[in-house]
Amino acid sequence: MKSWIERANVATCDFPIQNLPYGVFSRDGEAPRCGVAIGDRILDLAALQAAGLLDTGGAVFAQSALNDFMALGSVAWDRVRSRLVELLAAGGDAALREGQGLRAGALGPLAGSRLHLPFEVTGYTDFYAGRQHAVNVGTMFRGAENALPPNWLHMPIGYNGRASTVVVSGTDIHRPLGQMKPPSAEVPFFGPCRRLDIELEMGAVVGLPNRMGTPVTVAEADDMIFGYVLLNDWSARDIQGWEYQPLGPFQGKVFGTSISPWVVTKAALEPFRTTTPDREKELLPYLHEPRPLLYDIELEVHMQPAGAATSSRIAQSNFRYMYYSSAQQLAHHAIGGCRMNTGDLLGSGTISGPEKSQYGSLLELSWGGKEPFTLETGETRSFLEDGDRVTLTGWAQGDGYRVGFGDCSGTILPAPAEKNWTAETAD
């Protein structure tokens, strides 16, 4: 299928007509509203709706978040996607293509547009569902014979994160302050994180809620998912290492999580479904998958130090390396009666492949800081330094086209200035 927007037909374009990802954008101080990426353009869905070319039963696209549209459900999702294909396909409905005034007003350049957080994040849960990552980290800290916890092969492990610090790509991240205690120290100290890391992940966006007290099957969970984003769960490894027992990550994870500005729908990813790996231990029936629920999505991590002219690719991986699918994670999340809301975000967990070049965190790439790696620009890294910019990219490769996610990037800023914590403050 081809579009009359020529850039959308370039084989390396992230946003062909087969994709049509949703986001929120603004230009020239205007209010943010919903749009779709096509080629090198953004299609203003609010303008299409106002012109009578999209019917959703309400002005859902004039909002500054996708939540109202996502809450309409799969029938509306499919109807809008089909209509957009009609309007953008070469030889399709000419209402947009030949409507000069509408075309000029509704179809603007992607370059120069401001991209916002695409949906209101109502809740955020991060999982630990990549086997290679879990084995690598467990081997570092507990030895190869105890790498996986006893429960790991039976259920997707996760923890509740902070929705308030999920930010859109391009948002800078301050190095966090916190408590740390090296193994050789008798007492902890306070200061800026010294082992700042990334985690290469995908995020599943919940479109439809369930009722509190009502579990869902894996098939129902898959139907609840609206789409996927790239996700970087920034991690303060030294803060996390001191705090995580007995209740798990807290301050080491809550200071920032970056997502890509475009939500790629399940419909766009449908041709790229693939199966989860063979099970070493049989899963309980509520986690059985009725159909392939993973996706073949190529992923890359790039790093660019401050002052460097170019970035270096430091890792390649693929979403298919996950042990548990997002639908399994969602079903497990809801099995005890937890209500899942429109706008909830589920981080997949770090996506690492079997080779070192496929590891999805600096902790793994530098093997706990013991094996620093060298960038193409000559700098060495074990963990992030101030000024480093990290960019995740991802795409599913089709025949002559690819379904891309755009970039998910962030730059590390110095830690906030420390205060005189012992000084008395005025009322």
- For the full predicted model, state whether its pTM sits above 0.85: yes
pLDDT at 192: 97
**Cα(195)–Cα(206) distance, integer angstroms:** 32
Before 246, cis peptide (omega within 30)? yes
- Residue 186's pLDDT is 95
Number of Cβ atoms within 10 Å of the Cβ of 218: 23
* Contact by Cβ (8 Å): 180, 222: no
Inter-CA distances, 418 with 176, 191, 421, Å: 11, 8, 8
Q: What is the DSSP string of 201-243?
A: EEEEEE-S---TT----HHHHHHHEEEEEEEEE-EEHHHHHHH
Average pLDDT of each block of 10 consecutive residues along the chain (427 residues)?
A: 97 98 95 98 97 92 98 97 98 93 94 97 97 96 92 97 97 98 94 98 98 98 98 98 93 97 98 95 96 97 96 98 98 98 98 98 97 96 98 98 98 94 67
What pLDDT was estimated at residue 43?
98
Instruction: Compute the half-sphere exposure of residue 185: CA atoms within 13 Å on the CB side of its CA.
Output: 10
d(C-alpha 5, C-alpha 21), whole Å: 16
Structural domains of the chain in order of their starting residue, each with its CATH number: 6-116 (2.30.30.230), 123-413 (3.90.850.10)
Active site residues: 133
What integer pLDDT is reported at residue 57 of this predicted model?
85
Radius of gyration of the chain (CA): 22
pLDDT score at 426: 53
